[in-house]
Amino acid sequence: MDRRTPSPDRRLLFDTLSDYIEQIREEGMEGLPSETGARVASAESAESRPVPPPNPDEDTTTEPIAEVSAPQAPLRTVAMFARYPGLEKTSNLEELREFIGDCRRCKLYESRTQVVFGVGNPHAELMFVGEGPGAEEDARGEPFVGRAGQLLTDIIERGMGMKRSEVYIANVVKCRPPQNRNPEPDEVEACEPFLMRQIELVRPRVIVALGTFAAQALLRVKTPISKLRGAWQEIGGIRTMPTFHPAYLLRNPGDKRLVWLDIQEVMKELGRPIPRRGKA
């Protein structure tokens, strides 16, 4: 291989690092492990193995291979719920919140003020998933109530013409990491079953993943948000739109137009009219 030609993995790493540097102060999680690299490596290894000569005694007749569409990200709940027996029996959000209780399942409980569960319509057709609570969220026990939260409210109410109470809002992790650091993989793993159960119970028509690390957690990829945003994904059959985090938009207001394009796609998917004067 020409050493001057970057491999696909190196290009992906460069894109990810570039996007991270751009969003270093964004609230949320980073660097979640992905199965993608392993699958790619396995595929490359398979391609490099020699193909054995055909066996003349073997029937090589094959049926036509049907076209296979890209796999959607499953909710992955069966294996997750096994970690917390009884979680699958929660039948509504109130029961789920009671099940979580004064959670001490990871080390984040040592510095948090309270669990920040979620807020909004328990039967919402639209769900926003952020990354983790900040200081104001930790103090009030509600996600997205700081400056970034006010911008999200503006997107919902002024941009989409909906009430904040019509949608459901949650985070990947329910407790604030110390000094707003990014949650660590074991913390994400401990909290992930609760987010998946929230999604199952709300069962929205559309999910909006806010920011690089929320999208990475939901989709199990390492792709930066600059490449994910604007393209529909699916999580367990639920249409999912990754877009920039409101905290990122506070630092980069020029990219609000991109979020507005993403929001318009969400509105079309929901069959809702797009307000003429709406802005993200």
Token representation of residue 13: 């790493």
Whether 155 has a pLDDT exceeding 60, the answer reads yes
pLDDT computed for residue 110 by the predictor: 95
Burial class (CB in 10 A: 0-12, 13-18, 19+), 108: buried
Assigned token pair, 161 = 């013409």
Q: What pTM did the predictor assign?
A: 0.75
Across 118-142, average pLDDT: 96
The predicted pLDDT at position 195 comes to 95
Averaged pLDDT of the chain? 80
Contact 273, 108 (CB under 8 A): no
Rounded Cα–Cα distance for residues 223 and 198 (Å): 24
Instruction: Please write the tens of the pLDDT for every residue from 65-112.
Output: 333 333 456 677 788 888 999 999 999 999 999 999 999 999 999 999
Is the Cβ–Cβ distance between 218 and 129 less than 8 Å? yes
Higher pLDDT, 10 or 58: 10
Segment 257-268 shows an average pLDDT of 97
* Higher pLDDT, residue 232 or 278: 232
**What pLDDT was estimated at residue 10?**
53
**Displacement of CA 17 from its chain's centroid (Å):** 18
CA 107 – CA 190 distance, rounded (Å): 10
Query: In the predicted model, what is the mean pLDDT of residues 4-19?
Result: 50
Domains assigned to the chain: 77-270 (3.40.470.10)
Write down the pLDDT at residue 183.
85
**Lowest mean per-residue pLDDT among 48-57, 160-169, 228-237:** 48-57
Per residue in 24-53, pLDDT (tens digit) is 444 333 333 333 333 333 333 333 344 444
pLDDT (0 to 100) of residue 72: 57
Instruction: Look at residue 1 in the predicted model and tell me its pLDDT.
Output: 46
Answer yes or no: is pLDDT of 2 > 90: no
| Cα–Cα distance measured from residue 58 to residue 185, given in angstroms and rounded to the nearest whole number | 48
Averaged pLDDT for residues 248-270: 97
**pLDDT score for 73:** 61
Please compute the mean of the pLDDT values over residues 128-154 and round it to a whole number.
96
Mean pLDDT of 186-190: 91
- Average pLDDT of the residues in 110-125: 97
Is pLDDT above 70 for 208? yes
Percent of the chain surpassing pLDDT 70: 72
